[in-house]
Amino acid sequence: AQSVAQPEDQVNVAEGNPLTVKCTYSVSGNPYLFWYVQYPNRGLQFLLKYITGDNLVKGSYGFEAEFNKSQTSFHLKKPSALVSDSALYFCAVSAYSSASKIIFGSGTRLSIRP
């Protein structure tokens, strides 16, 4: 069965510092991995995805994520946080064999202090 874990409910970072939001997954076979962001009272917005190829994926708003197959992780990173990055972040996974079925993590609230 597929599963996604976001071990931190909340991450607090000072503006200008690097940020990391953690995600680990479990699927049978190769994964498709996604990060989405949700701003207050809005639907989710796509940030980036890993399908195949280069393990470092770059996405919107300066975010990037690294696929680590041995650690089954897909952590979201940004070199320099902005206050406007404050939002709820979701990691999601699906498997090559059943790509239509998508599992989301429980979400991590990112708070950037000025």
Partner 1 sequence: EAQVTQNPRYLITVTGKKLTVTCSQNMNHEYMSWYRQDPGLGLRQIYYSMNVEVTDKGDVPEGYKVSRKEKRNFPLILESPSPNQTSLYFCASSSVSGGTSYNEQFFGPGTRLTVL
Binding site for partner 1 (CB under 8 A): 4, 6, 9, 32, 34, 36, 42-46, 49, 51, 90, 92, 94, 96, 99-107
Radius of gyration of the chain (CA): 13
- Minimum Å gap between C-beta 36 and partner 1 is 8
Q: Output the 3-class SS for 3-41.
A: EEECCCCEEEEECCCCEEECCEEECCCCEEEEEEEECCC
- Minimum Å gap between C-beta 74 and partner 1 is 14
Q: By C-beta, is 49 or 77 nearer to partner 1?
A: 49
What's phi and psi for 42, nearest 5 deg?
Answer: -130, 165
- Minimum Å gap between C-beta 51 and partner 1 is 6
Residues in the chain: 114
Q: By C-beta, is 9 or 54 nearer to partner 1?
A: 9
